[in-house]
């Protein structure tokens, strides 16, 4: 019903409004000086929650309290007008954010200097490059000194150097004891900044606690959904078929079969093999492939269990490959092979794509595995005499 005509033509048609509860049963408390994260998938209601906190959307039920001056930082450069000079925009933006005109005018110079745009302050915004635009918007936003800041994924913009500047500012604010509520779906920055975090899913609270717990749950929800079924696809199956891997799965420390596993846990990849003919001393191997189809982990029973024994038709065998999970965060596909004794070329069965699992971790460093590396930096004074001698 957006026009009077529709209403006049269909006076009896009821208004087809669909009510949709975006947020349900949300309750949390953020203490003074806390850096609080709100995480969730797209459409989970995290931005709506932030707008409710900011007073931009009204809530139908429930209440929100704030102690201190609140400033919202939902998008960079809200209300910037392309046809006005940077100076005018900065003043107006300050007033919109709650400063008095005098205060706002007094701060213009600070803002322009922080953005390093002194020479361009009288230039209209439409003549600015996008980088200059972002710099100006960001420095406007951080000049509004509030006790409580509501921040929505603004860190996603800008180049690496600018992001670093943002991070520095957030570190500084955190150290100054300001309260920051931060919405994100970047688990790296969640872990880096937040003291505590809240995970939303379909408008409901899923988890409230330590950032790394929230990050793990987030990844679990995010990737768990697309987890493939446990039964093996028979396509591309090679080998003489004297035995078949009938089931394969992953187990965590507690014997559960999760869809995702956290880094640092001990995990076991297991498979059940059923024989349809007698086989003597079979050898089993495991390949763990990453998303680029590179074998990150390869293990075989041929070394330690050369004489694995004789299996008759109908017998079953349980394989278990267990290791400390040092895999980098991402999705992995295990591949099991079973071969006759000997060179390992005489394949009985090969199972790929039975299932995949996700490794969750605080931060993707970029390596294929995250080994516990000890890093030290020290001045190498021992070298100095050697140089002087030469």
Partner 1 sequence: MSTETSALEGLAPQAAPFEGLGRPIKGPGALIRDWRRFWHLTYNIARNEFKLKFFGSVLGYVWQVMRPLLLFGVLYVFFVVISHVGRGGKPSEHAYGVQLLGSIVLFTFFAEATGGSVRSVVDRENLVRKIQFPRLVIPLAMVLLSFFNLMMNLVVVLIFALISGVHPMLSWLEVPLILAMLVLFSTGMAMLLSALFVRFRDIQPIWEVVSQIVFYGSPVIIPIQKVRETLIEGHHHDQLLYHLYMLNPLVTVFQQFRHAVVTHATLSAGQALGSWAALLEPLALVLAVFALGFWVFNRSAPFVAENL
Residue among 60 and 129 whose Cβ is closer to partner 1 = 60
Residue among 78 and 132 whose Cβ is closer to partner 1 = 78
Q: Is 92 in the site for partner 1 (CB under 8 A)?
A: yes
CB of 141 to partner 1, least distance (A): 11
Task: Spell out the residues 6+ positions from residue 13 whose beta carbon is closer than 8 angstroms to its own.
Answer: none
Distance CA 348, CA 302 (A): 14
Q: Is 97 in the site for partner 1 (CB under 8 A)?
A: yes
| Residues 127/129/133/136 CA torsion (nearest 10 deg) | -90
Q: Which range touches partner 1 (CB under 8 A), out of 51-59, 176-184, 272-280, 361-369?
A: 51-59
Cβ–Cβ under 8 Å, residues 369 and 308? no
Distance CA 379, CA 180 (A): 38
Distance CA 187, CA 258 (A): 20
How many Cβ atoms are within 10 Å of 252's Cβ, its own excluded?
Answer: 17
Q: Which range touches partner 1 (CB under 8 A), out of 81-89, 155-163, 253-261, 324-332?
A: 81-89
Distances in Å between the Cα of 50 and the Cα atoms of 38, 54, 214, 239, 321 are: 9, 6, 18, 57, 45
Q: Is 100 in the site for partner 1 (CB under 8 A)?
A: yes
Q: Which range touches partner 1 (CB under 8 A), out of 46-54, 214-222, 335-343, 355-363?
A: 46-54
Q: Is 75 in the site for partner 1 (CB under 8 A)?
A: yes
Cα separation of the two ends of the chain: 88
| Residues in 297-316 at the binding interface with partner 1, rule: CB under 8 A | none
CB of 100 to partner 1, least distance (A): 7
Q: Is 122 in the site for partner 1 (CB under 8 A)?
A: no
Distance CA 104, CA 106 (A): 5
Q: Is 30 in the site for partner 1 (CB under 8 A)?
A: no
Q: Which range touches partner 1 (CB under 8 A), out of 52-60, 169-177, 324-332, 336-344?
A: 52-60
Residue among 125 and 284 whose Cβ is closer to partner 1 = 125
CB of 215 to partner 1, least distance (A): 27
Q: Is 33 in the site for partner 1 (CB under 8 A)?
A: no
- Which residues are bridge partners to 209 per DSSP? 197
Distance CA 348, CA 280 (A): 12
Residue among 104 and 191 whose Cβ is closer to partner 1 = 104
| Residues 27/29/34/37 CA torsion (nearest 10 deg) | 0
CB of 297 to partner 1, least distance (A): 48
Q: Is 119 in the site for partner 1 (CB under 8 A)?
A: no
- Which residues are bridge partners to 107 per DSSP? none
Q: Is 369 in the site for partner 1 (CB under 8 A)?
A: no
Residue of 9, 42, 65, 380 that binds partner 1 (CB under 8 A) = 65
Cβ–Cβ under 8 Å, residues 275 and 314? yes
Cβ–Cβ under 8 Å, residues 329 and 219? yes
Q: What is the radius of gyration, based on Cα positions, of the chain? A: 29
C-alpha of 71 from chain center: 26
Distance CA 171, CA 302 (A): 53
Q: Which range touches partner 1 (CB under 8 A), out of 60-68, 175-183, 198-206, 286-294?
A: 60-68
Residue among 5 and 254 whose Cβ is closer to partner 1 = 5
Q: Is 141 in the site for partner 1 (CB under 8 A)?
A: no
Q: Is 78 in the site for partner 1 (CB under 8 A)?
A: yes
The helix/strand/coil state of 180 is strand
User: What character string, x for contact with partner 1 (CB under 8 A) and - otherwise, covers 1-20?
Assistant: xxxxx---------------
Residue of 13, 96, 277, 342 that binds partner 1 (CB under 8 A) = 96
Task: Spell out the residues 6+ positions from residue 353 whose beta carbon is closer than 8 angstroms to its own.
Answer: 228, 232, 233, 236, 333
Residue among 63 and 254 whose Cβ is closer to partner 1 = 63
Task: Provide φ and ψ at 140, rounded to 5°.
Answer: -60, -45
Residue among 42 and 60 whose Cβ is closer to partner 1 = 60
Q: Residues interacting with partner 1, by CB under 8 A? A: 1-5, 51-59, 61-68, 70, 72, 74-75, 78-79, 81, 83-84, 88, 91-92, 95-98, 100-101
């Amino acid at each position: 019903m957006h026009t009077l005509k529709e209403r006049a033509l269909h006076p009896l048609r009821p208004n087809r409004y669909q009510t949709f509860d975006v947020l349900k049963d949300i309750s949390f408390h953020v203490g003074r000086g806390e850096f609080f994260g709100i995480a969730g998938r797209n459409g989970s209601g995290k931005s709506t929650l932030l707008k409710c906190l900011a007073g931009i959307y009204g809530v139908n039920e429930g209440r929100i309290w704030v102690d201190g001056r609140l400033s919202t930082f939902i998008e960079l450069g809200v209300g910037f007008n392309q046809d006005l000079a940077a100076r005018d925009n900065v003043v107006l933006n300050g007033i919109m954010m709650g400063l008095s005109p005098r205060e706002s005018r007094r701060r213009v110079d600070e803002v322009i200097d922080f953005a390093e745009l002194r020479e361009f302050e009288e230039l209209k915004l439409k003549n600015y490059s996008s980088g200059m635009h972002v710099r100006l918007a960001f420095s406007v936003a951080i000049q509004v000194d509030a006790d409580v800041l509501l921040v929505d994924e603004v860190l996603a913009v800008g180049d690496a150097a600018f992001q670093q500047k943002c991070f520095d500012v957030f570190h500084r604010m955190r150290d100054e004891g300001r309260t920051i509520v931060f919405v994100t779906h970047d688990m790296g920055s969640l872990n880096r900044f937040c003291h505590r975090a809240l995970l939303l899913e379909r408008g409901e609270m899923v988890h409230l606690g330590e950032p790394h717990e929230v990050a793990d749950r987030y990844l679990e929800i995010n990737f768990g959904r697309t987890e493939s079924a446990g039964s093996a696809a028979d396509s591309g199956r090679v080998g003489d078929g004297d035995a078949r891997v009938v089931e394969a799965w992953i187990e965590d420390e507690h014997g559960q079969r999760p869809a995702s596993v956290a880094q640092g846990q001990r995990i076991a990849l297991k498979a059940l093999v059923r024989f349809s003919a007698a086989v003597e001393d079979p050898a089993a191997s495991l390949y763990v492939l990453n998303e680029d189809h590179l074998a990150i982990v390869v293990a075989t029973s041929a070394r330690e269990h050369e004489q694995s024994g004789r299996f008759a038709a109908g017998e079953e065998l349980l394989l278990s490959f267990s290791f400390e999970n040092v895999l980098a965060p991402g999705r992995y596909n295990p591949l099991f092979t079973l071969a006759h004794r000997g060179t390992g070329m005489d394949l009985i069965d090969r199972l790929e794509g039975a299932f995949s699992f996700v490794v969750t971790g605080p931060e993707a460093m970029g390596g294929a595995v995250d080994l516990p590396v000890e890093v030290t930096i020290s001045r190498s004074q021992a070298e100095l005499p050697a140089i002087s001698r030469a």
